[in-house]
């Protein structure tokens, strides 16, 4: 795999090609999931996608572990970057990617607070550097007909989806004995005031920090979700590689 444990000549062989930048988050995920859940998930999805398309065809950059997590303000364990700081980090990495001769950049995140920042950054990077930039929020990718969990419609944070995928990938990090449902009022919040939903905070609807129901999460469901969304991410990466060729 061409990452940061390889040599400059290896990267030089990718001139005109694509780099992949994973972006995570460090934030509370209730009592049952680790605070680095989003970073752990994005690393796994990206590693699988890169292996699928061919590890020698892209430059896999180190993950930006922190993200835009201000929606979780007030909960212990949350470490957030401002939109300005995250954008600046992405910008500076992209400048170096372009200087190394690559033409494409895939920004991948598993955290729902990052996509708005990534979208703005991607257009600015194309304007300034001429890079072909794509952004992906992995949890939004299709699940290929997989039956939704019991919290369908309000599985936003630490619910069935994240807990199941973590059980599939790192069961030793999940404390299912502490899993509890919370945040069902999320669905009411969206229905009542969809025009201003961008200003919500987790504390508006949840006392525990969870928005979802992780109690019936399963490794089997998580494995199927991981397979479907990893394949979708690999297809997006393949398309980007073709677009800059």
pLDDT tens string 152-194:
989 999 999 999 999 999 999 999 999 999 999 888 777 665 5
Residue-level pLDDT at 188: 79
What crossing angle do the helices spanning 37-53 and 160-169 adopt, rounded to 10°? 60
Residue-level pLDDT at 1: 81
List pLDDT tens digits, range 50-105.
999 998 999 999 999 999 999 999 999 999 999 999 999 999 999 999 999 999 99
Residue-level pLDDT at 169: 98
Give the pLDDT mean for 40-49.
98
What lies within 8 Å, CB to CB, of 191 at 6+ separation is none
Residue-level pLDDT at 190: 72
Alpha carbon distance 104, 87 (integer Å):
17
Q: Mean of the per-residue pLDDT values for the chain?
A: 95
Query: pTM (2 decimals)?
Result: 0.96
- For residues 112 and 156, is the Cβ–Cβ distance under 8 A? yes
What lies within 8 Å, CB to CB, of 97 at 6+ separation is 19, 21, 59, 61, 105, 131
Residue-level pLDDT at 189: 75
List pLDDT tens digits, range 188-223.
777 665 555 667 899 999 999 999 999 999 999 999
Structural domains of the chain ordered from first start: 8-240 (3.40.50.10310)
Alpha carbon distance 96, 90 (integer Å):
10
């Amino acid at each position: 795999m061409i990452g940061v444990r390889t040599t400059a000549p290896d990267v030089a062989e990718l001139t005109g090609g694509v780099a992949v930048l994973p972006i995570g988050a460090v934030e509370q995920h209730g009592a049952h999931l680790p605070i680095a859940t989003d970073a752990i998930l994005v690393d796994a999805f990206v590693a699988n996608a890169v292996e699928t398309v061919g590890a020698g065809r892209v430059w896999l950059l180190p993950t930006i572990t922190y993200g835009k997590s201000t929606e979780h303000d007030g909960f212990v364990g949350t470490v957030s970057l401002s939109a300005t700081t995250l954008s600046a980090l992405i910008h500076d990495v992209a400048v170096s990617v372009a200087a190394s001769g690559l033409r494409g950049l895939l920004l991948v995140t598993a955290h729902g607070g990052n996509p708005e920042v990534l979208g703005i950054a991607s257009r600015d990077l194309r304007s300034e550097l001429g890079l072909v930039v794509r952004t992906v929020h992995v949890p939004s990718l299709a699940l290929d007909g997989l039956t939704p969990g019991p919290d369908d419609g309000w599985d936003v944070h630490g619910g069935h989806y994240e807990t199941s995928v973590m059980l599939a990938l790192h069961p030793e990090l999940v404390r299912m004995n502490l899993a509890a449902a919370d945040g069902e009022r999320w669905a009411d919040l969206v229905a009542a005031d969809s025009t201003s939903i961008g200003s919500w905070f987790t504390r508006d609807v949840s006392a525990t920090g969870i928005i979802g129901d992780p109690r019936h999460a399963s490794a089997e469901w998580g494995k199927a979700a991981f397979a479907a969304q990893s394949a979708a991410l690999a297809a997006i990466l393949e398309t980007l590689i073709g677009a800059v060729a």
